[in-house]
Structure 1
């Protein structure tokens, strides 16, 4: 024991006037160890306390979050109900607008359909009349073929001058009367120089009339046929007959040009009607110079088929003139149609403005619903301090007395 005490008493180090022994060092080490243990225990206690406090705070925040989530779910359900009502109202308005547009479109479709029906009916009538005229042309063509097969009988008829004139006049009158309305021609009309052509076709739009002459000279033509078919006929006799025929035709062409071509009263060209297709073909084949001279005199030699074709052209011109006379009615209908389209455009633009206003109203309703939701959340969270003393132009202030007679100032949104 004494040895141990002496060991702890033995000096170890010298610090100035102080002598440090082994006991001193052991005591100092023990103090240090105790101090470290105390610090360690204090740190452990503080960590546990902090963890406990954090756990309590976390639980409190969880309870607050659950409460807030419940409030949000309730507000969301209310907002969904309001949005459903808004959607229903908007759907009703859209249905009404769609019905109005459909009714207006139906009315316009009815008017357009009526107009198209009238145009289709008119087109069918015109086609029917054209088909009738084509049938008449076919019948006339068949008659021409039948007449071409009866050239001998025609020559016998034409042997008499009076019979020949009556025959040519009747053929020409039948063609004219069959192709033109009775107001578009006149037989044996009297001109300003007291001459009387066989037919005067009245042109539309105040244009000069067209003269048709049916008195074709056929005596020399019959002489040519007799010289060619008779027994013992000589080329000299045929030549003389041809010269006589050429001279008679030239005289007749000159008479037509002088009597019937009147400036401002008749057309610059007149028709000389030949009542036989075979004679017309023979003239163009063997007397081409005579035809050219007639053209220079502004006299056109026409056969029954060419006269029919000319009458058809004149008929088309008359029909075009009548259509031009009715053009103002078509223009008036087009103007009315454009007015209807303009009114439709104005009403569609107004409808578009209604749609834009409805969208703006929905946005304002959504803004108000969002404000209500936020205000309800703040009330449920008891965040009432920020509400005191607040008032806007679209809000009213009300008070609620609590159990402790405390007054809570609430804002009621009026949107």
Structure 2
């Protein structure tokens, strides 16, 4: 009697009863493959047949494939994993490579203030070790980045022939460095005035690309205009730990935007504030935006004093015709409306006032800027001849009243 699948011989009922009785007394070990005993010259192949009657073959196949890929049979004869021992004098872990590892007894438990002090000391040592390792990795990263940038600069200087190809090579090298997130620094170039001009020019291009990048959206978040000091802080924050740019070099790079014909320009207000904005942004567009906003306020009622519980307005708290004249705005409200800083909003409002588009109202609650309606008032001054005629008519009228005429 044999199995129809694998061909193995099957025992009868009598043999099965005897096997049950024997297994009750002694339990033999599960049979395993004898592959370690096989030799290369042996012609008889060693094989194992597996039969799955109620499923499970797919799961077994996947796990078998994983074991073959990971080569887990090599772990059977591998030495034991070395255990780490923390030395109190040296926080770096030391390993014991002996074959037989005997665990060290745990340190005695110390309770109370002494235990807290010891725990704090161990935590401080661990933190010092972690921070030291982190700074070593950071210094290695900075050194590697400097080497990459120096190599790119060396490659660009070797390929420049002093003609029109120089600008193309410079632009290509600058774009490669920008794609890697690296920016040229001054100490990576050789000394001399030429190297300093090259550094400032590259920094100017990097700033323009940084501002016009749609992914970052630096100018878009600031309403299209931001102060040079804010840009300096934002740019240094994204330098990837290479080197910070000094304020003097930053201002020199910003002044080269017009020379290099980049899409960013530097603007100076009357107070001396330096701002950065797109080249397509002009004062006329800014004034038009402010006037459009103030005209929209004609349809929005100002703050009301008497509002019923149902939200109905029972009486306004203002004494002017807000539907005709609108209302005044502060620098804070303008900054919130256009996304500017308060300093930039103040300068833009004063610029519009100088152009005659706005007028100011200075009161106890601060300065408010209104739409200038005085420019629309026409003052008619009578001519000199008309004034003389009026005076003569008035004189004749009084003479008649007195009876002298």
Q: Quick check: TM above 0.5? A: no
TM-score by length of 2: 0.17
Bigger RCO of structures 1 and 2 (CA < 8 A, at least 6 apart): 1
TM-score by length of 1: 0.17
- Larger Cα Rg: Structure 1 or Structure 2? 1
